[in-house]
Amino acid sequence: LDRALGGLTPIKRVIELDRRQPEFTLTFDQYINRVVPARRVRKGQAKLAEHRKLLTEIGKKYGVQPRFIMAFWGVETGFGRHFGGFSVVHSLATLAYDGRRAKFFRNQLHRALRILNQGHISHAQMKGSWAGAMGNFQFMPSSFENFAVDYDGDGKRDIWTNKGDAFASAANYLAK
């Protein structure tokens, strides 16, 4: 708890971003053009080819077409390029403190602390979006607990650096 919550002060930028989510301020056409430009589609096709063997295996196991896993990955993190630079724990604590959706974010904060305690990632590495979403597919801590998979059997559900775990977790999420 000291490592995770030490030095915590509410993050003003998190509150600002919470008030101006693009999903609520853009029209659908503006949003889709921003989120799915042609260059992202081309990059997705290249990533699909690059990871075809692993994606085919995971797709068969979970009953999810690899193209949907790639689309999810592309939209959420630009194929693993942008996880976010906020401390997940500090963002969640800020949003729990803010009060607008305090109960939801308090629950997410407790779950994030459990994930840290279980050793899936270190506090320093647990970076994500301003809202506390994390990893290749921007799972909230509750989604991590409910859907993340240890695909390679190493004892960790690593949705940050392990493509097998990340892709299988996304497929599991989509399948359920």
Q: Hey, which residues are catalytic here? A: 76
Q: Which 3-state string (H, E, C) describes the chain?
A: CHHHHCCCCCCHHHHHHHHCCHHHHCCHHHHHHHHCCHHHHHHHHHHHHHCHHHHHHHHHHHCCCHHHHHHHHHHHHCCCCCCCCEEHHHHHHHHHHHCCCHHHHHHHHHHHHHHHHCCCCCCCCCEECCCCCECCCCECHHHHHHHCCCCCCCCCCCCCCCHHHHHHHHHHHHHC
- CA-nearest of 65, 74, 63 to 38 is 74
- At residue 164's C-alpha, the angle toward residues 162 and 165, to 5°, is 70
* Cross-strand pairs, 127: 87
